[in-house]
Amino acid sequence: MRVGQSKGRTERPVDEQTRIQERLTGWKQAMERKDAAAVTAFYTDDAVIFGLAPPLATSGMNHQALQAWFDTWKGSIAYEMRDVALTVSDDLAYCHSLTRLTGTKTSGDRNDLWFRASVCLRKIDGEWRVAHEHTSVPFKMDGSLQAAVDLEP
């Protein structure tokens, strides 16, 4: 994860940006461990999530659904955030990145997917938490509407 290479303006002291980068690193590590409880703890209870999988939107991180998804992977997964751009104000921050998820499914299939991610964080009781997450892959504009999962930065 290249969170240390953040771009963008920072309107708060560097210590807030560093705190958020540390949170993002913890989130990444929880994803790689497939620790649904730890991942869920990074979100607000009412976080709005526009995920890769249906439905179009969910409210709150569903611990059980996340754990069920983690259980479809054999061993750990790799989660990389590249070209992270981070902007921070008093109690609101957002970042966007190109994100890579790799690993082996329980079926033995190897997955390697780059996708786009935008995350909005709110500072609640002094702690930065994910209030909105949007992940997506582009789709082919040739009429097929197929997801373009073969793209790399």
* pLDDT 10s digits, 90-136: 999 999 999 999 999 999 999 999 999 999 999 999 999 999 999 99
Q: What angle do CA 24, 25, 31 make, to 5 degrees?
A: 90
Report whether pLDDT(149) > 70.
Answer: yes
The predicted model scores a pTM of 0.84
Q: What is the mean pLDDT of residues 67-77?
A: 96
Going from N- to C-terminal start, the domains of the chain cover: 3-136
Average pLDDT, the chain: 91
pLDDT in the model for residue 14: 56
Structure tokens belonging to residue 40: 């869920």
pLDDT in the model for residue 17: 92
3-state DSSP percent of the chain in helix, strand and coil, to 5: 25, 45, 30
Of residues 92 and 4, the one with the higher pLDDT is: 92
Structure tokens belonging to residue 109: 């299939």
Share of the chain above pLDDT 70, in %: 91
CATH number of the domain located at residue range(s) 3-136 in this protein: 3.10.450.50
pLDDT in the model for residue 9: 52
Determine the 3-state secondary structure of 86 from DSSP. Answer: strand
Question: pLDDT band at residue 6, thresholds of 50, 70 and 90?
Answer: very low
For 99-124, b/e burial (b = at least 16 CB within 10 A) is: bbbebeeeeeeeeebbbebebbbebe
* pLDDT 10s digits, 37-48: 999 999 999 999
